[in-house]
Structure 1
Amino acid sequence: MFDLTGNVAVVTGASVGLGRQFALALARQGADVAILARRKEKLAEVAKEVEALGVRCLPVGCDVTDVAQVQNAVQAVLDAFGTVDILVNNAGGGSCIPLEELPEEEWRKVLSLDLDGSFYCMKHFGKVMLEKGYGRVINIASILGKGGLKELPVIAYASAKGGVINMTRQAAIEWATRGVTVNALCPSFFASESNGPEAMESMNDFICNRSAMCRPGKEGELDSSIVFLAARESSYVTAAILTCDGGWTAV
């Protein structure tokens, strides 16, 4: 079950952190993987890890906020693999600036990366999936798209991820009878490049207070969710907003 051999997966923001983990998780199940990010040198390192698992990997330099670069990435993937079966929209980021102080350009930057970038990739990679009548789209949202956070001023990030959640629902409805499922994964706090050791340490108290499991997520704890949503067996799962948060949203 959940064998992805013969599938081609695209993972954005795959040079570090969760994107790297998602690429490796799909590769372990047999998928060939195209990894997209702006930093080509980082992609090369991840590509070696993916290929060591016995599958093919295509690193593609791509800024997902640039439509032309996304379209070029689609063509590069088609030239290399001939198709696309799975899209993981992971590229994203945010900033901690209070609403009343947030510069308009920073607001636009965060929404462009988190929301617009996911839309561009979903639209252009999705066309390939729709043409053949099969696909799995997984948008990486956040628990902060489902509710506010009193400990940190994350208005732009929370707004963007809330948009990703409802964009997922609407896309799922529009494509529900066309063979392409669209779901979202909402993690809580995980270590990443932006959430380095010092940041995770500084946030530890409120993460433990908020989470039923009293801890942040660990590397690998999102793998099963990604693989499940990417698998052919999840054909009746669409418009799902899956939390992987140690019970955060239940408290």
Structure 2
Amino acid sequence: MKLKYKNQKTGRKMVGEAAGSWDLYPHCIFGLSRNDFYTGGNGIYHFSGSSWKEIFVPKVDSLIYRDVVITDIRGTSPDNIWAVGYGLRDENTSYGVIYHYNGKDWKQSTILKMKNINPLRIYPTGEGTKCLIFAVDDKYDTFPDGTKVFEYDGNSTLKEIASGSFWERENQTRIYAINGKLFVEMNNIIYEYYYGQYRKLIPIQRLNNGLIIGGRSKSDIGICQ
């Protein structure tokens, strides 16, 4: 597996082999600076500016899960990096996992309430270790059944704040990060997240099955349907 980095300003390219104890199969990439990139899949690799290196492989306990997939990595500083994913116990059972990097070590959250809840994205709120987590509900088979948004305090409290359908576009929920701000789509309304509060921002009138939201600030948001 090859990982590439290109500095858009200088045009400098860096290509490295992701050599390690696992095949990577990357699902995500996140960078704090040109010399501080992370990518995750069946493990986490770090780019230091000169090379890629495997820095963390989730511990696998066959009694709980036999394989772990890292689906997202995000952070606010070199000592506050979060990673989420899920561990497969068998073909019908999975457990969501959350990891935190404090600048020295990766540690797994002790939360074990996420049976068949597979986190796909994590968004630090900027309030210490607090995060919003987007996940899919995989109760019945290998196909997602629903979508969920959780508030996570970074320690031991995980609170569900929204849920919706995975397949029915008119009843879905999502998280959007726009210019450092977080927005949550639920019940056909986009809310701005602000220090634990959800401010109603834009109602959504769905015209078809497609919905793309992006922009530069809360006063400059575009919706494509």
Name the TM-score, length of structure 1 as normaliser: 0.30
Question: Quick check: which has more Rg, 1 or 2?
Answer: 2
Bigger strand fraction: 2
Name the TM-score, length of structure 2 as normaliser: 0.33
For CA contacts below 8 A with separation 6 or more, give which structure has more relative contact order: 1
